[in-house]
Amino acid sequence: MTRVQSEKLFAEALEYIPGGVNSPVRAFRAVGGQPFFVNKARGSRVWDVDGNEYIDYVLSWGPAILGHAHPKIIAAVQAAAEDGTSFGIPNPREVTLARMMCELVPSVQKVRMTSSGTEACMSVIRLARGFTRRDKIIKFDGCYHGHVDSLLVKAGSGALTFGHPDSAGVPAAFTQHTLALPYNDTDAVEAAFDAHKGQIAGIIVEPVPGNAGLYLPKPGYLESLRDITRANGALLLFDEVMTGFRLARGGAQERFGITPDLSCFGKVIGGGLPVGAFGGRAEIMDCLAPGGPVYQAGTLSGNPVAMAAGIAALEELNGRVCESAHGKAPPSRERSQDSYARLEMLGALLEAGMRDAAGSAGVAVQFNRCGSMFCAYFTGEPVHNLADAMKSDRDRFKKYFHGMLNEGIYLAPSQFEAGFISTAHSEADIEKTVKAAARVMRQL
Ligand SMILES: *Cc1c(COP(=O)(O)O)cnc(C)c1O
């Protein structure tokens, strides 16, 4: 497999773009080597500029849940673009997508669109603070909520001290109201609420953290976050930018039966275009400008082309239940069950195959999975939080990553990223992946 054209492009990119990339993980620094450049993607496949084909488990970091270049999304984008790419004044598609989201996600009564997940998280924090008139926020180590100043935090020396900036350029003053706690540890949350009575505006959490690999909430953990916030007059903020419309039609909150006060979205709702959103209880959402005192805005928010892509993606995932939003047909959950059942089936197939592959190669692997999200950690110990994830053997991961890439299988180029499956992946794709993994793991 040669990547001559990619190498040329990367050399040129390094001259004009810092690190040669527009988002750091794409530079392959965590695995070594150079990124490949993609100029075409369809279904479960991407092709690089040298003509190499890969089965893709990155899927643009989650958005391509229907596979790449889904014909319904392409048609919707083309049709919308014909009528103009941006108006800066309300357009009907914003209303349609907002209504669909309110219908699909149980806790969402009103929604505001943004252009990225980062903006959604930044805004939801401001809204929580404005609504509660409190300043402090709890976040969890290993959860990522975009590159928001006050959330780029690593834990302080003790769990009850405020976090330190995790990036140059973030003043310590900007993180002094952020508490960083370990995930899956209810006691730590209780202690923080005890130590800062009446000061904590809310907890922001990825209900299923997918930005340090993937680990799942322990039974009762999300419920405890709901109970503690409610008992203390604080808000529960679910960052469902990754899990929304992926883990179930109503996201992780439907899958785990928890009702957050506010939620953030992105990735899947943009159908591959740049979209974010946040929504929740109407009483809280109505605190946003222009009706309320919490300022939030966006020149391209609710962009008609992006809305068209998002509407097409959700319609395709959920079938006629969404067509009812246009008054065309009575609601039916049949097709939505098909999409999510298919993702679940493919996920289970991959999980079983990967466990077999690791077992027969005698390699210690924790294969964590939730629906169509997964991660393989190279450790013998279960992974429930960031500290556990850090025990994974990263040299092994590097070899595994490059081994799989040379087999034509593209996994995220970092141990600390989740993998994604689309409805366009076939059972044959999964079988091929598992066979490749068995070969690669024997070489580790
Ligand atoms: C991707 C992601 C974000 C940031 O979204 P961007 O569109 O990259 O700004 C925020 N939160 C979570 C959980 C994410 O996975």
Structural domain range at position 384: 4-68+335-442
Q: Kindly report the number of other CB atoms within 10 A of residue 418's CB atom.
A: 26
**116 pocket-lining for ligand 1 (C-beta < 6 Å):** yes
Question: Is residue 160, in this structure, part of any structural domain at all?
Answer: yes
Residue with tokens 């990754």: 242
Tell me, using a 6 A CB cutoff, whether residue 239 lines ligand 1. Answer: yes
* Pair 91, 53 in one domain: no
Show which of 280, 302, 325 is a domain's final residue: 325
> Which of 183, 241, 414 is the pocket-test mutation for ligand 1 (most atoms within 8 Å of CB)?
241
Same domain, 39 and 162: no
Identify any residues that bridge with 265 across adjacent strands, giving them in sequence order: 277
Asked whether 146 lines ligand 1 (CB < 6 A), one says yes
- The amino acid that residue 225 corresponds to is L
Q: Which atom from ligand 1 is nearest to the alpha carbon of 209? A: 13
313 with 361, same domain: the answer is: no
Token code pair at residue 189? 């949350």
How many structural domains compose the chain? 2
125 lines ligand 1 (CB under 6 A): no
Cβ–ligand 1 contact at 241 (below 6 Å): yes
Q: Are residue 138 and residue 271 in the same domain, yes or no?
A: yes
Judge whether 282 and 125 are in contact, CB under 8 Å. no
Q: Are residues 200 and 256 in the same domain?
A: yes
- In this structure, the answer to whether residues 310 and 202 fall within a common structural domain is yes
Q: Are residues 76 and 64 in the same domain?
A: no
What is the number of the ligand 1 atom nearest to the C-alpha of 143?
A: 13
CATH value at residue 153: 3.40.640.10
What's the gap in Å between 363 CA and the centre of ligand 1?
Answer: 32
Measure the CA–CA gap between 368 and 19, rounded to whole angstroms: 31
Q: pTM for this structure?
A: 0.95
Give the integer Cα–Cα distance in Å for 422 and 43.
8
Do 256 and 393 have their domain in common?
no
Tell me, using a 6 A CB cutoff, whether residue 276 lines ligand 1: yes
251 and 276 share one domain: yes
Contact assessment for residue 121 and residue 264, using Cβ atoms and an 8 Å cutoff? yes
CATH of the domain at 382: 3.90.1150.10
152 plus 235 within the same structural domain:
yes
| Mean pLDDT of each 10-residue bin along the chain, 444 residues long | 96 98 94 96 98 98 98 98 98 98 97 98 98 98 95 74 86 94 98 98 98 98 98 98 98 98 98 98 98 98 98 89 44 64 97 98 98 98 97 97 98 97 97 98 96
Whether 78 and 188 share a structural domain: yes
Answer yes or no: is 246 within a domain. Answer: yes
d(CA 361, CA 395): 17
Query: If you measure from the C-alpha of residue 334 to the centroid of ligand 1, how many angstroms do you get, rounded to a whole number?
Result: 30
117 within ligand 1 shell (Cβ under 6 A): yes
Distance 329 CA to ligand 1 centre (A): 34
Q: Verify whether ligand 1 is closer than 6 Å to residue 306 (CB atom).
A: no
Contacts of 204 (CB under 8 A, 6+ apart): 121, 124, 125, 128, 137, 138, 139, 143, 145, 151, 237, 239
Mind telling me the catalytic residues?
Answer: 144, 239, 267
Q: Is residue 339 part of a domain?
A: yes
Instruction: Say how many Å lie between the CA of residue 183 and the centre of ligand 1.
Output: 18
Residues 194 and 313 in one domain: yes
* Cβ atoms of residues 45 and 52 within 8 Å: no
Q: Which of 325, 355, 377 is the last residue of a domain?
A: 325
Q: What pLDDT is recorded for position 158?
A: 62
**422 in a structural domain:** yes
Q: Work out the number of other CB atoms within 10 angstroms of the CB of residue 24.
A: 12
Q: What is the DSSP letter of 25?
A: G
Asked which of 325, 343, 368 is the last residue of a domain, the reply is: 325
Mutate to test the pocket of ligand 1, among 60, 211, 303 (most ligand atoms within 8 A of CB): 211
Flag whether 330 is in a domain: no
Closest ligand 1 atom to 23 CA:
8
Q: For residue 384, tell me if it sits in a domain.
A: yes
Using the mean position of ligand 1's atoms as its centre, give its distance from the Cα of residue 147 in Å: 8
Q: Look at residue 82 and tell me if it is in a domain.
A: yes
CA 280 – CA 343 distance, rounded (Å): 26
